[in-house]
């Protein structure tokens, strides 16, 4: 079983940027404070009851604890379990992280169709990292039919969601294209005036 990459650790903290400020979460907040101070056992103890009751934020964070072996044993199957529970409730960060597991084959068998399904759901929900990744997947044909128009559209949605100019991310996928795709991309850019 491959270890989970450092990027998955960072994704967990992304959750904090999208958490609604008006929701009262004494246990979640106590768990977050413990997590920030490196007291992962306490974070686990604070989040576990809420996760078991169905709170997708707590479920998502439990997944990160298991993914990194923080306060709990490193258990990829528990990571997948908690992220799947949160993802099935429509929680976009969990949909994206679960899709990323399928895309990389970490903790689950690599399955690009499942990756596209979960990352696509998160992209549809407006999660910018998912929109970007979904654009790359459309450019490369990972789990979806290769489609440069769709790829550029998703990259532009990611840029817009992040407050950036359209076309900002195009150069990132241009280097992944085959010579034939480059010709198609050049034509699309001319058509769109980019």
Mean pLDDT score across all residues of the chain: 86
- Token output for 94: 């969990």
Residue 83 has pLDDT above 70, yes or no: yes
Tell me which of 21-25, 99-103, 160-164, 176-180 is least confident: 21-25
**pLDDT, tens digit (0-9, with 9 covering 90-100), for 132-163:** 999 999 999 999 999 999 999 999 999 999 99
- What pLDDT was estimated at residue 144? 97
Going 176 to 182 to 188 to 193, the CA torsion angle's sign is positive
Give residue limits of the domains in the chain: 1-109, 126-194
CB distance 70 to 103 below 8 Å? no
How far is Cα 141 from Cα 114, in angstroms, rounded to an integer? 14
Superfamily of domain 1-109 in the CATH hierarchy: Tetratricopeptide repeat domain (1.25.40.10)
**Rounded Cα distance, 10 and 190, in Å:** 37
Tell me the two tokens of residue 2.
């491959």
Lowest mean pLDDT segment, chosen from 19-23, 58-62, 70-74, 82-86: 19-23
Question: pTM for the complete prediction?
Answer: 0.81
The maximal CA–CA distance of the chain, rounded, in angstroms, is 56
């Amino acid at each position: 079983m491959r270890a989970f990459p450092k990027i998955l650790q960072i994704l967990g903290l992304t959750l904090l940027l999208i958490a609604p400020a008006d929701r009262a979460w004494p246990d979640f907040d106590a768990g977050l404070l413990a997590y920030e101070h490196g007291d992962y056992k306490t974070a686990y103890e604070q989040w576990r009851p809420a996760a078991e009751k169905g709170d997708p934020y707590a479920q998502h964070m439990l997944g990160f604890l298991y993914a990194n072996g923080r306060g709990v044993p490193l258990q990829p199957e528990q990571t997948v379990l908690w992220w799947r529970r949160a993802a099935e409730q429509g929680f976009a960060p969990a949909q994206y992280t679960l899709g990323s597991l399928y895309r990389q084959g970490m903790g689950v068998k690599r399955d690009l169709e499942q990756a596209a399904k979960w990352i696509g759901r998160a992209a549809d929900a407006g999660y910018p990292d998912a929109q970007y990744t979904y654009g790359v997947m459309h450019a490369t044909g990972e789990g979806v039919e290769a489609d440069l128009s769709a790829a550029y559209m998703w990259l532009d949605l990611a840029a817009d969601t992040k407050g950036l100019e359209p076309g900002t991310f195009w150069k990132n996928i241009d280097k992944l294209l085959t010579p034939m795709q480059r010709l198609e991309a050049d034509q699309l850019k001319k058509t769109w005036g980019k």
